Amino acid sequence: MKHILLIEDDISFSKMLRHFLEKHHYMVDVSFNIKNAFKKIAEQKFDLIFTDLRLPDGNGLEVLNELKSNNKTIPVVLLTSYAEVSTAVQAMKQGAFDYISKPLNPDEVLEVISNALLVEDSSNKETIATVKNETKKTTSEFVEGISKVSRTLKDHINLVAPTNLSVLINGDSGTGKEVVAKSIHLESLRSDKPFIAVDCGSIPKEIASSEFFGHKKGSFTGAINDKIGHFEAANTGTLFLDEVGNLSYENQIQLLRALQERKVKPIGSSNEIMVDIRLITATNEDLLKAVEKGDFREDLYHRLNEFSIKVPSLKDRSDDLILYADFFLNKANKELNKSVVGFSKEVLNFFQSYHWPGNLRELSNFIKRATLLSQGEIIEKDVLPDELINSQKSTKTTSFSTKENEKELIINALKNVNYNKTQAAKLLNITRKTLYNKIKEYDIT
């Protein structure tokens, strides 16, 4: 039986959580302060520690740092209020395994415990940590989120990367589809081979054959030199075709033939070139609908879609927002030679309430602009663009202003998160208890 230490000064809450964990066959000890917790840690072995962020004689970060200084590798999970999420994310950077926002979601608690104990039970922790760190170095543009959808995305990347399956990546504009493709390549057996990214939307159909397959000097007007096509350039590696749905029907036929025969012939050449490529494609449109309309070949669709990955929108991974903001801030500092260290609480509130129609690309652009304009070490409200400020004003005037639209807002929020009440409460920026009261008041089923 796994042994968990719960450090929590709220007596009623700790009793409730202890009972829940024991019901699921975990042994639980409770400490109401840090001093008593470390006395217990010195006396017995624990497999996992749950600690509240705020405690009578310190905070959860002190527990984490003390364990690290004593070379103890017990996974630590922080219990936080929603308002303390930014602090919890910083704690994860310092070595915390995960955090859970109060009020707790029982399924989330069990999932976090399972994941933490899986890592703890591994017989080769140091190797896993090293591999994980090396992966982060090589996939520097890929941020491993902590939300459920981000973990699913990472699981799918890990699952398909070692294979040679063609991958079709779906996602809205700005969600980072090319970053996902690059991550698949870097974790594949072809990681030391070329990765060639092509924007199909920017290639005129008249020169697509030359772009994909190359040409010989003098083969047509303007062909003043030999040109190596994308297929040949990606040979033995990965070819990534972004916005593949923009290819003309004629170009689709040429692409299908090249994929089936695994060989290409440059324009003006009589020699065929054998190619060995891993193909990854991406689109922000529904290719199945395009197939139904006759705009996209069904046989090519199935050739591209041996495995599909959905990249979630930023609004669906709000738990990751601060991680992405920190990543883009570090990137902007390097590019602009600045030394901005973070965001004000007011700015983070604006970030959390904005709907991000442009996804990660929009967040990156906002932060880069704000970093450039900032004169101090903290990004403040005055350097945010008007659309971000005005959006929150609009939200405030329309959110819970009348009884008529309040019920509709709650129903829409519940639908958007598949009736997960914890996530709906976060989306509405209210407590879970308030949400339950509203559901009861409006008789929402």
Number of domains in the chain: 4
Residues 332, 424 share a domain: no
Domain boundary among 260, 294, 310: 310
Q: What is the pLDDT of residues 156-211, one digit of tens each?
A: 999 999 999 999 999 999 999 999 999 999 999 999 999 999 998 888 888 888 88
What range defines the domain where residue 409 resides? 399-441
Give the span between the Cα atoms of 394 and 397, in whole angstroms.
5
CA distances from 110 to 30, 44, 92, 107 (A): 18, 23, 19, 5
State whether 63 and 201 are in the same domain.
no
Question: Based on the domain organization, do 364 and 217 belong to the same domain?
Answer: no
- Residue 384 included in any domain: yes
Q: Does the residue 134 lie in any domain?
A: no
Do 168 and 296 share a domain, yes or no?
yes
DSSP 8-state secondary structure symbol assigned to residue 82: G
**Strands of the sheet with 98-102, listed across from one edge:** 27-31, 3-7, 48-52, 76-81, 98-102
* Boundary (domain end) residue, out of 294, 310, 326: 310
CATH number of the domain at 302, please. 3.40.50.300
Picking from 281, 310, 339, the residue at the C-terminal end of a domain is: 310
One domain, residues 163 and 305: yes
Would you say residue 264 lies in a domain?
yes
| Continuous H helices in 234-320 | 249-261, 287-293, 298-304
| Rounded CA separation 244/252 (Å) | 9
Whether residue 161 sits in one domain with residue 65: no
- pLDDT, one tens digit for every residue, the chain (445 residues): 899 999 998 888 888 899 889 988 999 999 999 999 999 998 899 999 999 888 888 888 888 888 877 777 888 888 876 556 566 666 776 778 877 877 777 777 887 888 778 765 543 333 333 333 333 334 447 888 888 899 999 999 999 999 999 999 999 999 999 999 999 999 999 999 999 999 988 888 888 888 899 988 888 877 778 888 999 999 999 999 999 999 999 999 999 999 999 999 999 988 999 999 999 999 999 999 999 999 999 999 999 999 999 999 999 988 888 889 988 998 999 899 998 888 888 898 889 888 899 999 999 999 999 999 999 889 999 999 887 787 765 444 444 445 556 777 788 778 777 777 777 776 666 666 677 777 877 778 7
Together in a domain, 229 and 99? no
d(C-alpha 369, C-alpha 373), whole Å: 6
- 98 and 171 co-located in one domain: no
127 assigned to some structural domain: no
Domain identity same for 339 and 423: no
Decide: pTM greater than 0.75: no
My answer on whether 218 and 269 are in the same domain is yes
Q: Are residues 354 and 406 in the same domain?
A: no
